[in-house]
Chain A
């Protein structure tokens, strides 16, 4: 299900090899291609955020141990076109009927923090329906299921790092974290990027949601600027006339400390 040759990094490798730095190639020695940038704690939630109740028993409390990036961390699963179906990025066409709700297009670009496009990388999404109900056994809140909506999609970014999904706008939904708790509307995103180090699971929100100030998951990221990076932007240019409203969500994954491709040119 995963192919080893479909990641579009051939040019980087070729340049790197062509420059003749065998010691940095990791062949015959323990040295590896340059590591990825370290996490910036300001950019992330901590492991415990008391307003998010279930983090109390599930988030680690002991300090994390800084792991130098070895070959194990700078590699990771690579996915190919073979396992993506043609309709996988259109969540409105997975059933005979059309789902109810506001049809939307979600598009964006996946970049690394050096500004380089991340091409042919797997993006998986899942979400509730327009009424705020997940097609999942655990979700029993009294909103209707939509027989025409499963709520899961996947795609690979193209050569320029771009992706597109067509779906319906998910509704907000109640949860049990605290009295009268509601999640702002969101789509769950999962990306592998190029390595174990770049793995990212996040949530995409919609601009101007009145529930933002009350949501402990959104606010578990303490830096307001960082929170903004999880909010998609309404984009008239992505809006398809008479069909769907467009939202843009660009995603930035960590990049390498050194970028041989750029440095050597």
Chain B
């Protein structure tokens, strides 16, 4: 039991690694690579995510989950009270296991800007919430995908919390010669380690 303020809180159930066999329960029966359907509004994106370990070897047994707002910056969730429209063809949730090259690909739309932390009317830059699970990963790793070159990145209050030298690890990069396609490399550790958040 732990007390925060005057309240006694129940101690939470600890996390454990997802292990190597999650496909039988999670991504094999229900892969979810298409986050946006044919009628979803917004700028189409193909997001190519690669998971790499500290030796730069592809991680072929990782699971990536995406959570994102729709093109207007509205989450499909009852706690989003913004007066913005939901998109009937959009939930915002994706989940895939990586292939033998450590890659999984999501089809989606670019999320709109959502309110930032703190007072005032600051907006966050377009971003996707990302959870990474894998054998050898002891608990959910949380990160965000932003879009390189988006002018809103400069005023994003979460990016501002990240040391400048590491910000680039959170930026998806456009893939040359393939309009609408972006790549995002996730380095679990090593020199190029991706920024992970304590959520």
Closest to B7 in A: A114
A196/B67 in contact, CB under 8 A: yes
- Total A-B pairs, Cβ < 8 A: 295
Cβ of A264 < 8 Å from any Cβ of B? no
Interface residues on B, range: 35 or more
- B5-36 at interface with A (beta carbon < 8 Å): 7, 9-26, 29-30, 32
A229 pairs with B13, CB closer than 8 A: yes
Closest beta carbon of chain A to B128's beta carbon, Å: 9
Taking the complex as formed, is B164 at the interface, i.e. its CB lies under 8 A from any CB of chain A? Answer: no
Which one of A5, A30, A70, A220 contacts B120 once the chains associate, using CB atoms below 8 Å? A30
B173 in the interface, Cβ–Cβ < 8 Å?
Answer: no
Contact status A67-B116, CB under 8 Å: no
A47 to B24, alpha carbons, bound, how many Å? 25
Interface size class of A (residues with CB under 8 A): 35 or more
List of B residues within 8 angstroms of A230 by Cβ: 13-14, 16
Chain A residues, CB < 8 A from B61: 138
User: Is B93 close to A, CB under 8 A?
Assistant: yes
**A68 vs B194: C-alpha distance in the bound complex, in angstroms?**
18
Contact B25–A67 (Cβ < 8 Å): no
Q: Could you tell me the distance in whole angstroms from the C-beta of B71 to the nearest C-beta in chain A? A: 15
With CB as the reference atom, state the residue of chain B lying closest to A54: B136
Question: Which residues of B approach A to under 8 Å, CB–CB?
Answer: 2, 4, 7, 9-26, 29-30, 32, 53-55, 57, 59, 61, 65, 67, 69, 75-83, 86, 91-93, 114-124, 127, 129, 131, 133-142, 144, 158, 161-162, 166, 188-189, 193-199
Can you list 22 A-B pairs with a CB-CB distance of less than 8 A?
Answer: A2-B93, A26-B79, A32-B115, A45-B16, A45-B139, A59-B136, A66-B161, A68-B158, A71-B80, A72-B124, A75-B80, A77-B92, A77-B93, A114-B7, A126-B21, A138-B20, A138-B21, A200-B12, A201-B18, A201-B140, A226-B11, A229-B13
Residue numbers of A with Cβ under 8 A of B are: 1-2, 4-5, 7, 9-10, 13, 25-33, 37-40, 43-49, 52-62, 64-78, 111-115, 124-126, 128, 134-136, 138-139, 150-154, 188, 190, 194-197, 199-203, 217-218, 220-221, 225-227, 229-230, 251-255, 257
